[in-house]
Amino acid sequence: MNQILIGSLIPFAVAMAVYARRKGRADIAFLTLTPFAMLLGALWAVVPDLPRLFGRSDLYLRWSIDPRMNLFFWHYSIDQIETDSSWYAVGLLLTGACLLFIGWREIARRESG
């Protein structure tokens, strides 16, 4: 779960920097592309785990001991030190809640004139 969180946090952090630079304004492109980029980042981060999903345990085992898998947002390094925690899911939910808040705030701004 931590790879999914880290993979989605990278585009989220970039989006929050853009949001701050725009002085708290978000357009429709921001509100649609940010979650899409977060999804792509999360998928990129778990690419080394996908062979296991498709029943290719041999390929998964080879990739799990290959340091070159750090290309996928430090996947190999994270696997070496990871622990299970429900806080990863909480972090992912908080990023989604933050994006929803920004969207609702922008709608309220536009409706009020």
Tens-binned pLDDT, residue by residue, of the chain (113 aa): 688 999 999 999 999 999 999 999 999 999 999 999 999 999 999 999 999 999 999 999 999 899 999 989 888 888 888 878 889 899 999 999 999 999 999 999 989 87
Whole-prediction pTM value? 0.86
Q: What is the dihedral of CA 10, 11, 15, 16, to 10 degrees?
A: -30
Q: What is the pLDDT of residue 79?
A: 85
Q: What is the pLDDT of residue 74?
A: 87
Q: Which two tokens stand for residue 104?
A: 């609702």
- CA 41/CA 35 separation, integer angstroms: 10
Q: What is the pLDDT of residue 73?
A: 86
Q: What is the pLDDT of residue 72?
A: 92
The DSSP call for residue 72 is T
* Amino acid code (one letter) for 6: I
